Every structure is written in C-alpha cells, then in structure tokens.
Structure 1
C-alpha cells in the first residue's frame, strides 16, 4: 500500500488528502495528515469576523473535523508538530504536543507540503510580553478573544499594518468597544490598491472612529511587568493594552528549506503546474507556502489566499490519485470590507504595471450600484488600467458601498481571458433597476478607458 503524508491540516493539505482519497481506496493508499493546531479545515479569513462578533461561534468556521476525516479513512492528527522531513529515509518526524512531546516517525511514498504561512513579525514584535498577537490560525483567534475577555478587559488596541487583515482587525476591535489606533508605515492603508483608491479606504476606517496614522513606522514596544503598555513609533509612543499584527504573512518554508526543497524568488516553495516540487520524487506542495505565476506578467508571485490554497490542494490530490489537473496561475483578485465600504482589486495596480514595464492609461468613473432612482442605490468608483498600445485590460479596482465589490469578478474574467477595454464596452451584462444602472459601471469604465487608449495612440 502507498503511504501519503500531509504536512498541514488546513485548506490545501486537507483538500489534497480528500481528493486523493476520492480516487484511491483505503486499501490502496494510507493517508496521514499532521496539524500543529487543534483544528483542521477551517476558514482563516473568517477569524477577524469571529473576533468582532459577526460570526458568533468558532465552530462555524470549521469545515471538517478530524472525526469527519476519519470516516473518509484519513488519519488527521491534530496537535502534532512536524519537526523534520527526511527525504533520504522517506519519513516525517513529528512531536505529539499533547503527549509530552513524544516523537512520532511516519514513513511516506508521497508527501504534500502544505505548511501555510505565518504572520510577518519584525524583530520588535518577537517578544515574550503579554498582549502582542499575530492572527493566522483559529488558535491565534482564540488567544485574542481570551485577551479581550480578560478582567480587566483591554481598553486600547493598536493594530500595526493597514493591509486586508489590518483594516479587518481594526473594525473588529471597534466592534468590541475598544479605542483603536491603526499604524501604517506607507502613505496609505491598503497598498494593494492605487493611492487614490486607498485614500477612500483611509476615510472609511477613520469614519469608524479608528485613529489612522499613516507614514508612521514602529520602532519597538514599551513593556511593564511583562505586559505591553505602548507601541513606540516614529510619531511618539501610542498607549496599548493589546497589540495586533496586521503586517501580512510570509510563506512557512522552514521545514521545506531544511529538507532541501527548492524555494523560488518569492521565498515560497517552487512547484510546477501540477503542484509537484521540481527535482524531487513524490513531493508535492500547495497553499500559502508555494509560489505561483501571475497570468498578466508571467512572473512568479506569492499570493496567500484560501481560494488558491483549496484549488492547489485539489490539483495535487487529483494528480496523487492518478488523475490529471493543473493550476494555471492567478490574476490577484481580492476583496474586503470596512463596515459597509467594499474594496476590490484584480490584475495589476499602477505601481505593479510600472514595475512590469508596461506603458498604460488609467480611467476612473463614479457610478451607482443600482439605477440612480431606485431605492438603496449606493455610490462606487471603478478604476481600470489598460495597456497604451493594445488596450489590454491590465488591472481593475473598485471602492464602493453595498453591492460594489463582487463586480470585480467580471473584470477578473476579462483579465484572465486577455480582453481589451474596447471589447468590454459591448459586454452583455445583466440589467434591471434593482441591480444596475442601464449602463453598468464596468461598461462605463471600459468606455472611458477606451477613449484614453485612443487618445494616447
């Protein structure tokens, strides 16, 4: 019987295990998955909403438990931390964390490395002081909630980093009744969109009552009695009872690197289209620990998202089970919300297009989510980025109120299929007053971008 070992029990790893099991019986393939935390197959993206109280129960974020995997003849071992991958002996070494650190050795014929990502933590954040948290796993979320429910409860929160996770956590802390300061080193939060769009996000975050401080670096922490008391910044100290890191994540590649698996220019594990690690036999990788290719630039990128992790795990599992599947890359589509403000992007930002060597035009329009006369119509801004010579759509961003963000999906499809903005002016999009103006904002933006391309040419 072949033996499959999976390192990492969340989206990518358990998708791979599930797909491999669908194609092979328990008598053909044994599957063991090691997970350091207490849970398998859960939504990391839902953690800020759990902390903020929008999602009431932790278990609502869990898709499948170890017991459910056991019914599929998948041995999912939680609280087992993998400490070594020995490619020569073809075995994984792990510690049973709830059994005194007992060493476990598991042989394998195939291995899926799906160790995910870890919160980015600068040197000042690597502290034993109580009150400083990264938020990546359900265990991390539970730790934050314990801190928020402590007696006395914290009153002042500082969120460091203004990306997706940072603004979501800032909103969560406001919902929990704390005074919140958001510190961002860049000139704007949400650097994944252009500065003009990021300014709209900054206004919305400030509108929640968050003290938004941009262009401010963090130098360290003030600690008293083993607890954090303030964040030391280039703008002076900011008092804090709890500090949450929203600085993004980095691929968790320590085990892979120690085992000699190749890392790409992004710092993540290299894989081919089928999620195989090149230069190795029977070694696969998927999820937030791997790099992929950007379909616009053709360059390697690291884009950690649950959508990609699940798809990549599925591809690996299909191939492990004797099928054939590929993961063709990404276009960088992402959405988030701040209260009722929705933020979406796909493709390249202006800065990314410049770095890739494109000459381009931009076009921004203001419109509404529904016919202007229809009750509930909300404003939105749509921005397109198109190549000068060809009009090829390179990127798109949307900032607006309810019903704005999911329009990014049509723009992502256009980029995926290499459409020009002129082709997009004739798109047959759905229309009815409750859902869109007679000229959809996407089409209006495409018309304006087409005019800009023709003017440049």
Structure 2
C-alpha cells in the first residue's frame, strides 16, 4: 500500500510547525518539505538582535536543522529547493533544485502552502548596490552582519519606520554605534499606532540620537565608482550613507498560489477557513501568506507575525492528521523596542474603528511603570479605545520604558474575551512596588475611559 504524501512548501515557522504537529499524530504519513533557502525553522524575530551583536552565532536562532527533521522526525526537509508551480488538477508540484540546477516534479495527496511573506523593495535606481540590505531571512542577516564586521560602516540610513525599521535602527545605533538616519515617507513612524502615540515613538527615536526624517520618499541610491552605496536621495534631499537597510514591511508571498488559481483575500493573502483549509480540495495554507480573521472588527484580516504563523501551523498539522482544531483569529497584538523605549498595540486604531462604523471614545493617561517612590520607575503612556454605550474595549496602545510593553497582554486578553472597560477596572491584577503602582497603568487608563463610555 502506497503511503499518502503531504508536501509542505516553505520550511519556516508555519510549515515546520504543521509538519512537526502532523508527525506527532501520524507516524506513517510521508512528509516532504521544500524550502528555497538554506535554513529551516529559525527565529526570524531574533534577526535584529543577531545583527546588533547581542546574539553571537546565527545557529542560536535555528530551532531545528534539516538534518534534525530528517533523522529525528522522519520529515524529509529539503533546502535550496524551490517549488515553482502547482498543478491543482494533477496534484503535482514542480521543483527547482537550486543547488544542482535541475528541475523535477512530485505528486501530493495534501499540499500545505507556507510561503511566508516578501519584503517591499522600492523600484529606484541602484537599489541593488553593494551596501544595501534587506533583512527578511537569516541568510540576509548573516550577510549584513558580515558587512558590519568587515567594512566597519559609520553612517547608516534605515528606510521605513515600521517594526522592522525601528528594530534595525536600534541594532545599528544603540548597539553598533553607527550614526543612523531613519527615512519614512509617512508623516509618522509606525502606521500601526494612532498619530498621537506614534508621535511619542518619534520623540523616543530622536531622544536616543537617531535622525528622524518623516514625510520623505526614497527616490534613488547613490554609489561611488566601485558601485558601493554612498548616499540615499529622497524627494527632500540627500543623506550620506555607507550602509542602507530596507525596513519597508512585507506582503504575503502568494504568487505561486495565485498562478495555481487559488482564491486570494485581504492584501492578496490566501483565503482560508479556520481549519487552515483553502476552498481548493487538498490544499491548505498557514503563516504569513494566509488570511486570518480579526476578532474585534469581525472582518478578514492579514498580519505577518511569528506567533500567528506557529499557531496556524499547529492547527493545520492537527487537521491534516485527521484531528479537529480551529484557529479563531487574532486581535493584532504586537510589541517592539527602540533602545530603552517599548511600544505595544492591540485591537483597533481610531481610523479602523471609524472605518468599521463604530461609535467609540478614547482616553490616554501618563503614569509610572512602578510605584513612584521605587527606584527605576519610568514613564508609561496608555491609550484605550472603547465602544460608546456598551463599554466594550476596542483596542489599546502603550509607549513607555522598561516594563511597559508586556502590559498589552492584559488588553489582548480582554479583547479575546469581549470584555468591557468596567471589566478591566474590576480585574484582580497583581501589585508590588517593583512592578506597578497600586493601580496598574492599564487600569488607570480604564478608569479614565469609564467616564466617557
């Protein structure tokens, strides 16, 4: 009897989580994973800290090597193998062996697409010059770190003011000691925050010595006679640089799925149900390439986060093994750090609440991370949004120093439970002077918001 075969396209968070979970539940199924890069199952979120030098060796970011998957889990993980086409009717995939330069085909019974996301790369002159780096893979991070150590650049420009851009600016400025300018075409950094909270992040960026250039669009990269970067040109001037890092965000990597005729949804992500099954029989998807559902707006949604990818992969693996699991959705929780400052958000922004026709109000408070008399107490700003009338919490944002960001998890839990502002005020949260004031900052904000709802 021929064993049924699962093919997984993509060997990182979602793909390997699904393959591993399926193997735990089904010892007999043949599992083949194709990964176009040289690494499997690595912590992409740790890349900025590897670049910063806080993590010494890239191997520390690798959870399991292809050899481990093959020898310990009987998962045939093949690196430098790119799936180039899917034949839905014939249930086959075409593969290009990037190591040997040959092409071949393989049939499947089930197919999991976990192709992740691709970075935005602006179409401007000399964007591929020596000294210009994207940092979306471990391979690219290793190349950037090698450049930093061998070339010893002094001036860097980071293009993009989202999570990736901020974390790379921190790595280069706070840890590597480079002079850093951050160029962002929007009028604020972090489009995932409301403008007033993003302004606090902007102040924090300037406070650590990073030059912030808002409302500027990259138009070209200038090079010297040897083709090495020497400056970036924007619509408002020229900025000297011997290193450029692109941190413009990512988009779902779904060209393969689209070419195969699969249905796409929000931001071009692959449409999928809560079991991670696509409308096409035998094809599943998970991770940054997959659409999900926002539990507050109750609308289809897309987010590229390792936490979400791992959970999606686990759900897909259980269902592929014949079990029953569902991925309910997300509330858009994320945290980041820029030197000593921490940033967090969850739920809806003002613009999103307005877009979905919600009648809402908000409150913002400034208080302390610890009891005011305790050493090390620092500033924390908390902003909450709630629905008028019902008092249902809709979202929250936090900007502060050490101890600020992880408080967002309390708000995320409230959103998952569809709790009200009064529920948040009534929660029995912990207290001791080294950790918070008597009233935790999220509850101080909730009390202020309670007056409005």
Q: For 1:52-67, what aligned pairs fall within 5 Å after superposition? A: 52-67=52-67
How far is 1:203 from its partner? 1.5
**Residue 77 of structure 2 is aligned to residue 81 of structure 1:** no
Q: For 1:225-304, what aligned pairs fall within 5 Å after superposition? A: 225-278=226-279, 280-304=280-304
How far is 1:195 from its partner? 1.4
Gaps of 5+ in 2: none
How far is 1:223 from its partner? 2.9
CA contact (8 A) 1:125 1:132 kept: no
2:17 aligns with 15
How far is 1:162 from its partner? 0.4
Say which SS state the counterpart of residue 181 (structure 1) adopts.
Answer: strand
1:41 aligns with 41
CA contact (8 A) 1:393 1:420 kept: yes
Moved more, 142-151 or 45-54: 142-151
TM-score when normalising by structure 2 = 0.96
Moved more, 107-116 or 372-381: 372-381
1:324 aligns with 324
**Residue 192 of structure 2 is aligned to residue 200 of structure 1:** no
1:351 aligns with 351
C-alpha separation in 1, matches of 2:253 and 2:125: 18
1:161 aligns with 160
C-alpha separation in 2, matches of 1:108 and 1:247: 36
C-alpha separation in 2, matches of 1:435 and 1:209: 29
Q: For 1:11-160, what aligned pairs fall within 5 Å after superposition? A: 11-25=13-27, 28-70=28-70, 71-99=72-100, 101-124=101-124, 127-151=127-151, 153-160=152-159
Gaps of 5+ in 1: none
Q: Deviations over 1:229-265 (max 9, x none)?
A: 2211121111221211111000001111111111113
CA contact (8 A) 1:266 1:300 kept: no
C-alpha separation in 2, matches of 1:57 and 1:143: 13
Count the aligned residue pairs: 448
Quickly say closer, same or farther: Cα 1:34–1:422, change in 2 above 3 A: same
Say which SS state the counterpart of residue 266 (structure 2) adopts.
Answer: coil
How far is 1:125 from its partner? 7.0
C-alpha separation in 1, matches of 2:241 and 2:442: 43
CA contact (8 A) 2:18 2:316 kept: yes
1:209 aligns with 209
1:442 aligns with 442
CA contact (8 A) 1:287 1:308 kept: yes
C-alpha separation in 2, matches of 1:377 and 1:127: 44
TM-score when normalising by structure 1 = 0.96
How far is 1:126 from its partner? 7.6
1:416 aligns with 416
How far is 1:104 from its partner? 2.9
Moved more, 383-392 or 312-321: 383-392
Say which SS state the counterpart of residue 402 (structure 2) adopts.
Answer: coil
Say which SS state the counterpart of residue 397 (structure 1) adopts.
Answer: strand
Say which SS state the counterpart of residue 308 (structure 2) adopts.
Answer: helix
1:170 aligns with 169
Q: Deviations over 1:98-150 (max 9, x none)?
A: 22x12132211001000000101121178432222211110111121122223
C-alpha separation in 1, matches of 2:285 and 2:69: 20
Say which SS state the counterpart of residue 328 (structure 1) adopts.
Answer: coil
Say which SS state the counterpart of residue 143 (structure 1) adopts.
Answer: helix
Say which SS state the counterpart of residue 268 (structure 2) adopts.
Answer: coil
Q: Deviations over 1:197-244 (max 9, x none)?
A: 111111111122211111111122223332222211121111221211
C-alpha separation in 2, matches of 1:408 and 1:424: 12
Moved more, 122-131 or 132-141: 122-131
CA contact (8 A) 2:251 2:267 kept: no
Say which SS state the counterpart of residue 150 (structure 1) adopts.
Answer: helix
1:391 aligns with 391
C-alpha separation in 2, matches of 1:69 and 1:265: 33
How far is 1:89 from its partner? 2.1
**Residue 346 of structure 2 is aligned to residue 368 of structure 1:** no
How far is 1:452 from its partner? 1.3
Q: Deviations over 1:297-338 (max 9, x none)?
A: 111111000000000000000000010001111100000111
CA contact (8 A) 2:158 2:168 kept: yes
C-alpha separation in 2, matches of 1:445 and 1:222: 48
CA contact (8 A) 1:34 1:77 kept: yes
Backbone CA RMSD of aligned residues: 1.3
Say which SS state the counterpart of residue 434 (structure 1) adopts.
Answer: coil
Say which SS state the counterpart of residue 422 (structure 1) adopts.
Answer: helix
C-alpha separation in 2, matches of 1:282 and 1:190: 38
